[in-house]
Amino acid sequence: MRFFDREQEFKKLREIEELSDEVAQFTIITGRRRIGKTEMVKKFYENKTMLYFFVARKAEADLCEIFVDEIRTKLNIPMLDSKGMSFAAVFKFIMELSQNQHINLFIDEFQDFYRVNQSIYSDMQNIWDSYKNKAHINLIVAGSVNTLMNKIFKDKKQPLFGRQTGTMHIRPFKPSVLKEIMSEYCPDYKKSDLLALYTLTGGVAKYVELFIDRKKFTEKKMMDMFFERDSYFLPEGKNMLVDEFGKDYGIYFSILTLIAQGKNTRSELENALNIKELSGYLKNLSEEYGLISKMQPIYEKSSNKNVHYAINDQFLKFWFRFIYKYAHIIEAGGNDKLKAIAERDFTTVSGKSLESYFNEVLKESGAYTRLGYWHDRKGENEIDIVTEDELDNKIEFIEVKRQVKNFDENVLKTKSELFFKAVGSFKGYEIIYRGLSIEDM
């Protein structure tokens, strides 16, 4: 699959590089695994000189030999004795060199220096502070383990706290990009195929690429590939999150599995797990790991009422709903059995994904000042999407159905009347009612 999107990110990288010619820049790039951080940076610099340091889990001296070879090759410097060299010495050499020439340096999997030598961060702080005022360096560091990247740069006790000059967070492909990809590689695709791609990948670049490169353009072929023996996707959730959660991964996995199944209030989760207090775990999942969101009906005034939790990542929603929950089926060699379960429930699961898809489409439009969902206190009446435009005085109620024939505007209007009673009137506002279906994708 060819490279798609990232125009906004390229614009920012271009601005940072131009600034670094005058003032040293230290940029952090974050984003979940497989989102395409490395590919993006390499693509941007493919026709420019960039030093690329990948922090593999090796001895420091072995890493430094690789880094020195990169310096020799890219900068054509036939010097440096790399034997037994420390990273501090390599970094100091680059910073000194950047006083006389502009240098782009990209350090990938930056958090893994913790496994190599934790003192590297202190060494970098001292060297950066000593040379940054005269350096012409564009230093970019990327990491996929959210907890460690947060610790390195957001913990006031850590040496590199506050040293960054900028941050970029890489997000999944937007719906418009997924449509572009499907249009290019399978022009006659069905809307159900696009929904399947969104449901199974969430727009994560690596996952989309896997389907596209193997020409799995239909819902059926995607499901076949997802559940096949030795599938890339089956161990992916665990591979992605075990490093994040550490020894507590079991309880976090159980919480995420329950949320994926629809148990999304704290009381439901505590009852299901027979644990009296989960607030700490839920806070970590939301704030530390960024994996769930604390959802409340739009215009809810209290921060503690009507709270529901939702998994942010579409791929992980599907993975916890089927792969982790039914791991015993895979262990028994029943991949086809598990696929049959997923196919049986796919209409329901993808129906919820369709709501997320349209939320992303509406956000991408930039046409609203407020966007959310609403339900009454009993949870009996729910409106899938409510949008407000405070500039043009418009409020819109949207019901999402897989099939357009299932949309009933009168039912939506009845729910909106309950909404106005609970929230208040919107005098002078234009009120719009709309149904969205798979045909509107």
d(CA 359, CA 198): 13
| Digit-coded pLDDT (tens) for 357-397 | 999 999 999 999 999 999 988 888 999 999 999 999 999 99
Mean pLDDT, range 203-211, rounded to an integer: 98
* Residue-level pLDDT at 18: 96
The tokens describing 81, both together, are: 């004795």
Higher pLDDT, 184 or 300: 184
| pLDDT mean across residues, the chain | 94
* Residue-level pLDDT at 79: 65
Q: By the 8 A CB rule, do 35 and 172 touch?
A: yes
Q: By the 8 A CB rule, do 362 and 436 touch?
A: no
pLDDT(305) > 90: no
> Residue 243 — very low, low, confident or very high, per pLDDT cuts 50/70/90?
confident
Burial grade of 8 (CB within 10 A; 0-12, 13-18, 19 or more): exposed
pLDDT(314) > 70: yes
* Residue-level pLDDT at 145: 84
* Residue-level pLDDT at 2: 95
Mean pLDDT, range 23-43, rounded to an integer: 96
Percentage of the chain surpassing pLDDT 90?
Answer: 89
Mean pLDDT, range 280-289, rounded to an integer: 92
Burial grade of 298 (CB within 10 A; 0-12, 13-18, 19 or more): middle
Please state at what angle helix 266-273 crosses helix 249-260, rounded to 10 degrees: 120
Mean pLDDT, range 272-283, rounded to an integer: 92
Greatest C-alpha distance within the chain: 78
| Digit-coded pLDDT (tens) for 48-92 | 999 999 999 899 999 999 999 999 999 988 766 767 789 999 999
Percentage of the chain surpassing pLDDT 70?
Answer: 99
* Residue-level pLDDT at 248: 85
> Residue 303 — very low, low, confident or very high, per pLDDT cuts 50/70/90?
confident
Mean pLDDT, range 297-315, rounded to an integer: 90
* Residue-level pLDDT at 109: 96
Q: Which domains does the chain have, with CATH numbers?
A: 7-169 (3.40.50.300), 236-332 (1.10.10.10), 366-440 (3.40.1350.10)
